[in-house]
Amino acid sequence: MGPWEDNLWKWDMYCRRSRFVWEEIPHDDLITKLENIGLKLSKDAWIWHKGSNRTFSTNSAYWAIYEGYEDNQSHNTFARI
């Protein structure tokens, strides 16, 4: 699929066999689309934007859902809990 070069991913698609003629156009289209996607080598992390300290908790999830339904009184999700 490709190597990392200077902390950026370089797409390098290859097949173990020669492509059929009808595969050339879809392959070229795929490469063109992939070139527009820039992957960077960096630390992977999940961030919860609803919590006060950006960490997930059941309480922060409850309040995020509750605030989403607060204006919609006809939704009885929390009435059943």
Residue-wise pLDDT tens digits, 5-26: 888 888 888 788 999 999 999 9
- Domains of the chain, by residue range, sit at 4-35, 45-81
Q: Over the stretch 21-45, which tens digit does the pLDDT of each residue have?
A: 999 999 999 988 988 887 777 777 7
Q: Which residue has the tokens 């059941």?
A: 58
| Contact indicator for 50, 63 with CB cutoff of 8 Å | yes
Split at pLDDT 50, 70, 90, the class of 80 is low
Q: Which residue has the higher pLDDT, 68 or 37?
A: 37
> What values do phi and psi take at 27, rounded to 5?
-65, -45
Q: Report the distance separating Cα 68 and Cα 3, nearest Å.
A: 43
Split at pLDDT 50, 70, 90, the class of 77 is low
Q: Which two tokens stand for residue 53?
A: 């300290």
For residue 27, the tally of other CB atoms under 10 A from its CB is: 14
